[in-house]
Amino acid sequence: MANKPSIPKGTRDFGPDEMAKRNYIFDTIKSVYALYGFQQIETPAMETLQTLMGKYGDEGDKLLFKILNSGDFLKNAKDEELLERNPLKLQTKVAEKGLRYDLTVPFARYVVMHREELQMPFKRYQIQPVWRADRPQKGRYREFYQCDADIVGSVSLLNEVELMQIIDMVFAKFGIRVQIKINNRKILSGIAEVIGEADKIVQITTAIDKLDKIGLESVNAELAKEGIPTDAIEKLQPIIQLSGTNDEKLDTIAKVLSNSEIGMKGVEESRYILDALKKTNLKNEIELDLTLARGLNYYTGAIFEVKALDVQIGSITGGGRYDNLTGIFGMPGLSGVGISFGADRIYDVLNTLDLYPKSSVTGTQLLFINFGEKEMNYVLPFVAQARKANIRTEIFPDSVKMKKQMAYANAKNIPFVVLAGDSEIEQGKVTLKDMESGEQTLVSSEELISKLGL
């Protein structure tokens, strides 16, 4: 009953080369998170639908993968309900669990369930796959990893400062030049307040964002088209044409928002964060950008986003401050701030720029060619010594044609192979071949290790 196998659309296998690269990405991010005192947690792939539903909007509810109940999954559905064939109504009768859609809701659920054990502030990171029944397309998958770090239970802006340092350090380690953009929800609220158009923030920032492309007049025309009154557009001019250093920008904004309490709070927060970061020798530029308006329904303070400078691709990291993560689970008033690295896009950027360090993608370092049982018995002590010296070492298990064994070394990008026949045995040594240069050297066990060891 052979059938040609396949995998569900939108999912991926990761082979050895991809895994080595992905491990390099995750290990780098993990090491920086840990350096700043974040601790890893993991939550189950499955959550109850009660935990998941209603957290991501109607569209999100549809995109949740639901797990069919075990056993008689129809037992909660009446005949009439079945014949009515309303999938939205029936799905929660046949399914009680779903696959997690992001790491934020499971984290909120985790904090509430474990509140008694947790010492606040709680600094956690979490690197796990999430699942969304989105229409698959280039760069969008139904299973992908998120890499989140959050601090909850502290309103200190030092947390924002440290998260910016983490972002800077991670990309410095990758060798990816980035621009870190920062904004503040309170500044945006202030702008809307000052011009009396509290519900038009999105339209305003979207229009402002086009300044470089379409010019000032067209931006103003678009604002008018969106129903912003002339005098409000007038007031917006300093904001639309905002330029200069971050400090100059903050001075300009402060003038416009001087009558808005929330707006001035946003200016003050941004100034604190940017001033503190001046003392930290960031490798990458950080820019105050008012057009940054991600997650407006969610974020309440600072908002962050990272763009790669040398590759055209969307945001590769983002985050911000939120004020009520756990309220939906009955634990109000817990403020937090977090970031999330986009592993799939970072993978693409590293590939495009060819930035993987050689050591991160080298698997086996040394292969012993198999010439038969006698020769194998001779080399086994060499193999043991190499592994003892922590050199990743293989023996080709079958004594097949040399050509096949060398093809194996090449396919696995193994940099060195060992050859040992009668002549080597006589001299108590082995021949070490450098696969890149082709150079062959007769070496003792000690010389072998010192040539390859770290």
- Residues in the annotated binding site for L-histidine: 102-104, 132, 146, 150, 294, 298-299
The string over 251-282, giving b where at least 16 C-beta atoms fall within 10 Å of a residue's C-beta and e elsewhere, is ebbbebbeebebbbbbbebbbebbebbeeeeb
Of the residues 20, 211, 282, 435, which one makes contact with a second copy according to CB under 8 A = 20
Q: Which is nearer to a second copy, 112 or 194 (CB)?
A: 112
* Cα gap 243→174, rounded to integer Å: 30
Give the nearest distance from C-beta 355 to a second copy in angstroms: 21
Q: Which is nearer to a second copy, 115 or 265 (CB)?
A: 115
438 interacts with a second copy by CB under 8 A: no
Of the residues 21, 123, 249, 433, which one makes contact with a second copy according to CB under 8 A = 123
Of the residues 26, 43, 172, 240, which one makes contact with a second copy according to CB under 8 A = 43
Both tokens assigned to 198 = 């509290």
Of the residues 175, 215, 244, 327, which one makes contact with a second copy according to CB under 8 A = 327
Tell me which stretch binds a second copy (CB under 8 A): 286-294, 305-313, 327-335, 421-429.
327-335
CB proximity list for 285: less than 8 A, separation 6 or greater = 179, 180
Element (H, E) at 361: helix 358-361
Tell me which stretch binds a second copy (CB under 8 A): 255-263, 312-320, 364-372, 420-428.
364-372
Round to the nearest angstrom and report the end-to-end CA distance of the chain: 51
Residues in binding contact with a second copy, number by CB under 8 A: 107
Give the nearest distance from C-beta 343 to a second copy in angstroms: 13
Interactions with a second copy, residue window 373-402 (CB under 8 A): 376-377, 380, 384, 387, 390, 392-395, 397-398
441 interacts with a second copy by CB under 8 A: no
Of the residues 16, 57, 139, 196, which one makes contact with a second copy according to CB under 8 A = 16
Of the residues 408, 421, 447, 451, which one makes contact with a second copy according to CB under 8 A = 408
Give the nearest distance from C-beta 26 to a second copy in angstroms: 11
Q: Which is nearer to a second copy, 6 or 243 (CB)?
A: 6
Coil, helix or strand at residue 245: coil
151 interacts with a second copy by CB under 8 A: yes
Of the residues 44, 139, 229, 333, which one makes contact with a second copy according to CB under 8 A = 44
Give the nearest distance from C-beta 154 to a second copy in angstroms: 5
Of the residues 121, 136, 238, 295, which one makes contact with a second copy according to CB under 8 A = 121
Cα-based distances in Å from 36 to 42, 106, 162, 194, 352: 19, 22, 8, 39, 29
Of the residues 116, 119, 199, 217, which one makes contact with a second copy according to CB under 8 A = 119
Q: Which is nearer to a second copy, 198 or 380 (CB)?
A: 380
Both tokens assigned to 64 = 């949740």
Torsion of CA 88, 90, 94, 100, to 10 degrees: 10
Q: What are phi and psi of 301, to 5 degrees?
A: -135, -125
Of the residues 25, 103, 104, 110, which one makes contact with a second copy according to CB under 8 A = 110
Both tokens assigned to 46 = 């499955």
Interactions with a second copy, residue window 243-302 (CB under 8 A): 279-281
Strand pairing report for 39-40 and 66-68: unpaired
Both tokens assigned to 251 = 């001075």
DSSP character string of 59-75: HHHHHS-EEEPSS-TTT
Interactions with a second copy, residue window 167-206 (CB under 8 A): none
155 interacts with a second copy by CB under 8 A: yes
What letter represents residue 316's amino acid? I
Which of 177, 450, 443, 143 lies closest to 310, judged by CA?
177
Q: Exposed (0-12), middle (13-18) or buried (19+): which is 294, by Cβ within 10 Å?
A: middle
Which of 120, 100, 98, 123 lies closest to 43, judged by CA?
100
Of the residues 58, 83, 212, 213, which one makes contact with a second copy according to CB under 8 A = 83
Q: Which is nearer to a second copy, 118 or 211 (CB)?
A: 118
* Cα gap 86→184, rounded to integer Å: 43
User: Rounded to the nearest 5 degrees, what angle is found at the Cα of 328, between the Cα atoms of 323 and 332?
Assistant: 50
The DSSP output letter for 5 is -
Q: Which is nearer to a second copy, 154 or 203 (CB)?
A: 154
Q: Which is nearer to a second copy, 172 or 264 (CB)?
A: 172
Give the nearest distance from C-beta 416 to a second copy in angstroms: 13
Q: What are phi and psi of 424, to 5 degrees?
A: -65, -40
Instruction: For the beta carbon of residue 15, count every other beta carbon within 10 angstroms.
Output: 8
Of the residues 202, 216, 407, 442, which one makes contact with a second copy according to CB under 8 A = 407
* Cα gap 311→101, rounded to integer Å: 28
Interactions with a second copy, residue window 47-76 (CB under 8 A): 47-48, 50-51, 54, 62-63, 65-68, 70-74
91 interacts with a second copy by CB under 8 A: yes
Of the residues 21, 24, 109, 342, which one makes contact with a second copy according to CB under 8 A = 109
